[in-house]
């Protein structure tokens, strides 16, 4: 029996704007609605950034708080993952929302080039973000833009800096970083299994038109998949994606083609070793 596939939907990101695709959710209410639709389509993780009203990236604590509240209300059980990525702020502002205790947060553990700049993740900031995640019992998703980031995650896990077995996401197809390369992809999988065990979960994200390729590769190879408008605003060359949910449905179709079931939020939490949500505990107590 194969492991169910966890689908993560990256709803907004910090780059795409309405002018690129009007379906990119910007306001908190748009984000909640888009997440709800993606949740119903089969996503069990939402990866979220927040934006200012002018669509620029934001690190506003209140916006993250409002988004968390809305997602818990409208998508009960869904795994909430906040981004601590570098475009939303500098230095420790990137982790300013972690006291809200989302289930997960993204964590980049090394630096690399991005299309027009250096994506800076200095060691002291990485250590600080990891320690905040430990304090608030947040499971990091390690963003592997490079092979060295997987080995760095192993080093951090050995030192007790991370909650649980690291969940590694391979990111491929960012211009000037790791391209979409099948041999590298296979070696990433080999490395994750060697360092964290045969059954260690991993996922993959491809940027732009590479999203589809990475979804196909990851699902066929037993990994988990990320989709969403953050990484890609198109359904194919000629059509914009009408919604995050449409991209989730495309990923569900790939699961079906590969005889993988789509993980429910309960299965996803079990696979990732996450706590069950407080709401269900409250429900039992009431
Ligand atoms: Zn992101």
The tens digit of pLDDT for each residue in 141-178 reads 999 999 999 999 999 999 999 988 999 999 999 999 99
The stretches of the chain forming alpha helices (DSSP H) are 28-41, 61-74, 123-135, 147-158, 182-196, 210-220, 244-257, 265-272, 278-285
Q: List the shell of residues around ion ligand 1, using CB closer than 5 Å.
A: 13, 83, 85
Distance (angstroms) between ligand 1 centre and the Cα of 1 equals 32
How many A from CA of 217 to the centre of ligand 1? 21
Give yes or no for a contact between 237 and 129, defined as CB atoms under 8 angstroms apart: no
| pLDDT at residue number 91 | 85
Relative orientation angle of helices 61-74 and 28-41, to the nearest 10 degrees: 40
What's the pLDDT score for residue 94? 93
pLDDT (0 to 100) of residue 260 = 98
As given in the structure block, the two tokens for residue 5 are 């596939």
Ligand 1 centre to CA of 230 (Å) is 7
Mean pLDDT, residues 94-104: 96
The residue assigned the tokens 């919604």 is 243
Contacts of 278 (CB under 8 A, 6+ apart): none
Please report which confidence band the pLDDT of residue 133 belongs to, taking 50, 70 and 90 as the band edges.
very high
Residue 11 CA to ligand 1 center (angstroms) comes to 8
Among 256, 261, 277, 203, which residue's Cα sits nearest to residue 10? 203
- Using the mean position of ligand 1's atoms as its centre, give its distance from the Cα of residue 210 in Å: 16
User: pLDDT tens-digit profile of 24-37?
Assistant: 999 999 999 999 99
Quick one: pLDDT band at residue 210, thresholds 50, 70, 90? very high
Could you tell me the sign of the dihedral formed by the alpha carbons of 185, 139, 80, 284, in that order?
positive
As a whole number of angstroms, the distance between CA 47 and CA 29 comes to 16
List of domains in the chain: 7-285 (3.20.20.70)
The answer, yes or no, to whether residue 98 has pLDDT greater than 50, is yes
Q: How far away, in angstroms, is 189 Cα from ligand 1 center?
A: 22
Residue 114 CA to ligand 1 center (angstroms) comes to 13
- Return the SS3 of 83: coil
What is the Cα–Cα distance from 252 to 20, expressed in whole angstroms?
Answer: 24
Query: How far is ligand 1, taken at its centre, from the CA of residue 49, in Å?
Result: 6
Using 50, 70 and 90 to split pLDDT, how confident is the model at 284? very low
- Is residue 192 classed exposed, middle or buried when 0-12, 13-18 and 19+ CB atoms within 10 A define those classes? buried
Does residue 225 register a pLDDT over 80?
yes
pTM for the predicted model, two decimal places: 0.95
CA 163 centroid distance within chain: 16
The residue with tokens 């809200």 is: 100
């Amino acid at each position: 029996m194969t492991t169910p596939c966890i689908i993560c939907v990256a709803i907004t990101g910090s780059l795409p704007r309405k002018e690129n695709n009007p379906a990119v959710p910007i306001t908190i209410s748009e984000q909640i609605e888009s997440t709800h639709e993606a949740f119903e389509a089969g996503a069990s993780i939402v990866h979220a950034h927040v934006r200012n009203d002018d669509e620029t990236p934001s690190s506003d604590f209140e916006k993250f708080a409002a988004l968390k509240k809305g997602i818990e209300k409208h998508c009960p059980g869904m795994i909430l993952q906040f981004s601590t990525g570098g475009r939303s702020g500098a230095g420790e502002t990137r982790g300013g929302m972690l006291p809200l205790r989302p289930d997960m947060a993204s964590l980049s553990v090394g630096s690399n080039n991005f299309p027009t700049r250096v994506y800076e993740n200095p060691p002291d900031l990485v250590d600080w973000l990891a320690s905040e995640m430990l304090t608030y019992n947040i499971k990091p998703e390690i963003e592997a833009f490079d092979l060295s980031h997987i080995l760095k995650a192993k080093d951090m896990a050995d030192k007790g800096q991370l909650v649980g077995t690291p969940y590694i996401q391979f990111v491929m197809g960012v211009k000037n970083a790791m391209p979409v390369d099948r041999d590298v992809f296979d070696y990433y999988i080999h490395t994750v299994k060697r360092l964290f065990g045969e059954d260690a979960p991993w996922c993959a994200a491809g940027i732009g038109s590479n999203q589809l390729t990475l979804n196909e590769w990851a699902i066929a190879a037993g990994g988990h998949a990320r989709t969403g408008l953050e990484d890609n605003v198109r359904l194919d060359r000629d059509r914009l994606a009408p919604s995050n949910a449409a991209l989730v449905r495309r990923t569900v179709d790939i699961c079906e083609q590969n005889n993988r079931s789509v993980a429910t939020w309960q299965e996803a939490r079990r696979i990732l070793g996450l706590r069950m949500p407080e709401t269900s505990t409250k429900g039992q107590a009431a």
